[in-house]
Structure 1
Amino acid sequence: MVKKKSKETKESLESSIAPLLEINYKEPLFTAAAHPTKPILISGLATGHLYCNTYDPTILEAESEKKKEEIAELEEKVYASGLTPVVSKSISETKKKWWKIVEDNSELPTDSLDIKTNWKTKRHKGSCRHAIFDPRPDHLGEYIYTCGTDNVIKKANTESGKVVGKVDVVEDYYDSKDKLTKLCHSNTHSFILSGTEDGNVLVYDSSNLSANNLKFKVQSAHDDSINHILSMTSSPYHYLTLGSTTLSHIDIRKGIITQSDDQEDELLSMSYTTEEISDGKSDTVLVSHGEGLITIWKNSKNKLRDQLSRIKLNKDVSIDSIIPTMNNSDEDMENSVWCGDSDGMLHRVNFKKGKVVETRVHSKDGDEVGILDIDYDYRLISAGMDTLKIWGK
């Protein structure tokens, strides 16, 4: 008789990699972004405040390793004395954290060596909903774009935080009660796209925002709020958008090119694969769903009209965020994406194998992982409304 293989448990998949830094927020964190080439972190809050922080990974790693060794030595002594039956190796179960913990992001000093505040400001009158760095090679990370519930898009200098352009978009709404949700900047042109709660896309000239230069307008890309926008490499005018239960391929000059079949499940986030990003392609798209799964789509197969396959993660949670590892050091990492769920878990999914291959616990208190990013040195960043973590390598 052939022995059945035992199912992999959550514990067996838990990574041995711990956070390098943990930042806690007293006010809800709505958005965060990592600078593409420097250890700089932007965080936007429900209060409309925007923080710019710099961290030093070398110092943080040295501090963390020293404290980890001290804790391990103490635990071994306790175990040897018989006061504890086992020494836990689980990162999520450890009672003594050895990584740097900031209890309140607003109290970070401006002169600390391991992590400091570069600048902070009240950027929006309402909440700060989304923040992104400029992705263009000739302006890479030079500017920060934010949008808020005050219906304003602002462009600021990353180094100083000074606003260098802004536009109030209300007059360009179809309905004055509409609100901004997401931003996306062209990788090559001065196009800043903004999605709205009513499912529309407004496109402005980022080189001269203050002139209120609306360049293009796509009405009803979706029936409901725009959840995500991705640029396509085929043209600076072509983008993918998610909203409600559909995925749309839009041309910002002409409108919807194709829209997917109704997926009967909310589509929350999407990403390309590491391999395609490295090769400058945008054919394969992975989409996260409200009902605990991710789906794989290919433009070359069916013009993104429907998913090709699905990977089930956990039907009891929503998969709120997804991002490629951006690590092509080996085949497993290159074929993987990170997903964050509504229960505070992180899953590394190998989409070629169709399964979860690694887990990390962002929060044991159910802090929904609605934000994922990769820093300049390929470290994973996860965040919910309460806590942000930069993970070790």
Structure 2
Amino acid sequence: MFDTICTLPLTSDLFTQAIHPTEPILSVGLAGGHVHTFLLPPTSDDSSDEHVTVSENGHGQIETAWRTRRHKGSCRSLSFGIDGGQLYSAGTDGLVKAADTATGQVFAKIAVPLDTSKGTPDPPALLHCLSPQTLLLATDSSALHIYDLRTANSMLAPKPSQTHHPHDDYISSLTPLPPSPTSTSGFSKQWISTGGTTLAITDLRRGVLVRSEDQEEELLSSVFVDGLPARGSSKGEKVLVGGGTGVLTLWERGVWDDQDERIILDRGAGGGESLDSLALLPEGLGLGGKVVAVGMGDGGLNFVKLGPNKVVAKLRHDETEAVVALGFDVTGRMISGGGQTIKVWHEKINEEDGEDVGTGKRVVGSSDEEDSDDEDEESSEEEQSRKRRKRRKRNKGKDKNAGKGVMAFKGLG
């Protein structure tokens, strides 16, 4: 199915990763506040750079485009702009920074609003670019801020145009719903969020539309899947939600009060492993139909085929660390992240041989000037916030040992 072609060690625990929408580029945000951007090799079909050596099975050199200590404290979330030209990062220093993807140069900053109920800093939880004009920012207090990017193109600190509270707990995932056929912009105006034990739908113009019943388990991840068989009242469009106790739930689009199907991926005393990340496999990767990759709290990767609703394959990212980030780049390679490791996977070529494809070479590129000079220890506020984020947060990162005792390539320390 997939073989690992490269394993990238990181200098501290991974909190987030972002995959470029149109180019083979990966950015990671770390517990130590660093942001690294890597250039993945193109496949043989899309290679136009005579300086990049790529074999027929997608191997080549992975280069570091730039690296920097972007935030004082952890880098909690990353999001590329719609066209991939900008990279937004959010840190526990209370800042969102917008940088040029190619150079890493910061061109704008946004101050994360305080927690209005306490008047204290409100660490960011998630970022998502909904359109060229709209940036979503979720925080630990459950606030969901909406920014108009047309007012955030300088080193100023604009205020959000709207703020909602779709959940009573921190927002753990954001998934846009596809635009309607009558949309004139072609961009989503509604999105699903999970937080605590509920799922919610929010509209860009009308605010929070629906919040589900209490599901009695923590909801951690979500992904939208269309193109499923339409039967009865089902239109073949579902949202899959990963829970904290090993259960994957399916929600029919438009019926948001409660789930309509459950797939138990892991059973265990007191609950199974958490389902920390979800990603839909691109069409044509060999398994047929709709398949969702699931990143598990124990470091495993399960592949669930929808329709028969069964696990069709299993892999392992790590022996102990949770898979907190999962996605596919523009070439169809799977990228998983967790602990202090990123893995790049290529569709298996020699399935009949039962052999690994191998490990790609990694070449360190240039790095830009550091934004921050000091490697600060995790603050008490960050520690308290990390505890509040319960199981998923516990899996996502431990800030204190940033880069200590970890093998790192030269130039990455």
TM over 0.5: yes
Q: Distance in 1 between matches of 2:193 and 2:288?
A: 26
Report the Cα offset of residue 55 of structure 1. 2.3
Contact 1:182 1:195 survives alignment (8 Å): yes
Say if 2:289 is the partner of 1:345: no
The one-letter code sitting in structure 2 at the alignment partner of 1:214 is K
Contact 1:184 1:231 in 2 (8 A): no
Residue 194 of structure 1 corresponds to 137
Shift of the alpha carbon at 1:328?
4.3
Report the Cα offset of residue 334 of structure 1: 3.7
Separation in 2, partners of 1:219, 1:269? 20
Please tell me the residue identity of whatever aligns with 1:196.
T
Of 267, 276, 279, 2:219 maps to: 267
Change (3 A) 1:382 1:390: same
> Displacement, 1:219?
3.4
Q: Amino acid of the residue matched to residue 155 of structure 1?
A: A
Paired residue secondary structure (1:269): strand
Q: Is the CA contact 2:148–2:161 (under 8 Å) kept in the aligned structure 1? A: no
Report the number of matched residues: 319
2:400 counterpart residue number: none
2:173 to 228, 236, 244: 228
RMSD value, Cα? 2.4
C-alpha distance in 2 between matches for 1:39 and 1:236: 24
1:120 to 44, 52, 67: 67
Which residue does the alignment assign to 2:124? 180
Task: Give me the whole-angstrom Cα distance separating, in 2, the residues matched to 1:52 and 1:282.
Answer: 37
> Residues of 1 paired with 2:338 and 2:223: CA distance?
19
Q: Looking at CA atoms only, which structure, 1 or 2, has the larger radius of gyration?
A: 1
Which residue pairs with 1:148 in the alignment?
A: 91
Correspondence list, 1:359-378, <5 A: 359-364=314-319, 366-378=320-332
Q: CA separation of 1:24/1:282 partners in 2, compared to 1, >3 Å: closer, same or farther?
A: farther
Instruction: Decide whether aligned partners of structure 1 residues 32 and 320 sit closer, same or farther in structure 2, where only a CA change above 3 A counts.
Output: same
Q: Give the SS at the match of 2:150.
A: helix
Q: Distance in 1 between matches of 2:253 and 2:159?
A: 29
Structure 2 counterpart of 1:264, one-letter code: E
Partner of 2:262: 310
1:178 Cα deviation from its structure 2 partner: 2.0
Shift of 1:212: 3.2
The 2-side partners of 1:60 and 1:320 are apart by: 35
2:21 match:
36
Residue 17 of structure 2 aligns with an amino acid whose one-letter code is: A
Q: Partner amino acid for 1:228?
A: S
CA distance in 1, matches of 2:340, 2:56: 24
| Cα deviations by residue, 1:213-260 (Å, 9 ceiling, x for unpaired) | 334333321111110112222474422111000000112444321100
Q: Is 1:50 matched up with 2:38?
A: no
Residue deviations 1:310-335, cap 9 Å, x none? Answer: 111002211111111122466x4441
Say if 2:210 is the partner of 1:258. yes
Shift of 1:294: 0.7
Contact 2:110–2:157 (CA under 8 A) maintained in structure 1: yes
Q: Please give the alpha-carbon distance, in whole angstroms, between the structure 2 residues aligned to 1:152 and 1:35.
A: 22
Say if 2:33 and 2:69, in contact at 8 Å, map to a contact too. yes
Aligned to 2:157: 212
Counterpart amino acid of residue 385 in structure 1:
G
Q: Is the 8 A contact 1:183 1:192 kept in 2?
A: yes
Given the two structures, how large is their TM-score scaled by the length of structure 1? 0.75
Counterpart CA distance in 1 for 2:149 and 2:87 is 11
1:30 and 1:146 map into 2 onto residues whose CA distance is 11
TM-score (structure 2 length as normaliser):
0.72
Aligned to 2:151, what secondary structure does the other structure show? Answer: helix
Q: Which has the higher contact order (CA 8 A, sep 6+)?
A: 2
Question: Structure 2 counterpart of 1:23, which letter?
Answer: L
**2:174 partner amino acid:** I
- Compare the two structures and name the one with the higher helix fraction: 1
CA contact (8 A) 2:226 2:236 kept: no
Runs (5+) with no aligned partner, structure 1: 1-14, 66-99, 101-112
Does the 8 A contact of 1:216 with 1:253 survive in 2?
Answer: no
Structure 2 residue aligned with 1:327: 283
Preserved CA contact (<8 Å) 1:30 1:46: yes
- Mapped to 2, the partners of 1:32 and 1:341 lie a distance apart of 16
Q: Distance in 2 between matches of 1:208 and 1:325?
A: 36
Partner in structure 2 of residue 83 of structure 1: none
Q: Secondary structure at the match of 1:263?
A: coil
Matches within 5 A, 1:10-21: 15=1, 17-21=2-6
Is 1:35–1:133's contact at 8 Å kept on the other side of the alignment? yes
